[in-house]
Amino acid sequence: MQDKGGKIKPTHLLYKSNLSYQRMNEYLKDLMEKEFVMEKEEKGKKFYFLTDKGSMFLQEYNRLVEFTESFGL
């Protein structure tokens, strides 16, 4: 999602997530409630966007992963 300006079509997200449609929608609902992702319509098509809060979470998560890997955890 980050390489596309933080937006993705639902179908592409479904393919990339390798989840069932129902499971993906459950996760998206949870992410939208937490304001990590938002849904918008552009030119009649639905897209999901990574919010600033979602982007900051991913940065911190990646930092945590790097930290734990550097100590072999």
Give the pLDDT score at 46: 95
Give the pLDDT score at 3: 53
Category of 30 on φ-ψ map: left (φ > 0), alpha (ψ -120 to 50) or beta: alpha
Amino acid at 6: G
* Spans in the chain with pLDDT lower than 70: 1-5
List the domain range (segments joined by +) for residue 39.
Answer: 2-70
pTM of the model: 0.80
d(CA 53, CA 35): 7
Q: Which of 29, 41, 39 is nearest to 1 (CA)?
A: 39
Give the pLDDT score at 1: 53
Residue 19: both structure tokens together: 């989840």
Q: How many domains does the chain have?
A: 1
- CATH number, domain at 41? 1.10.10.10
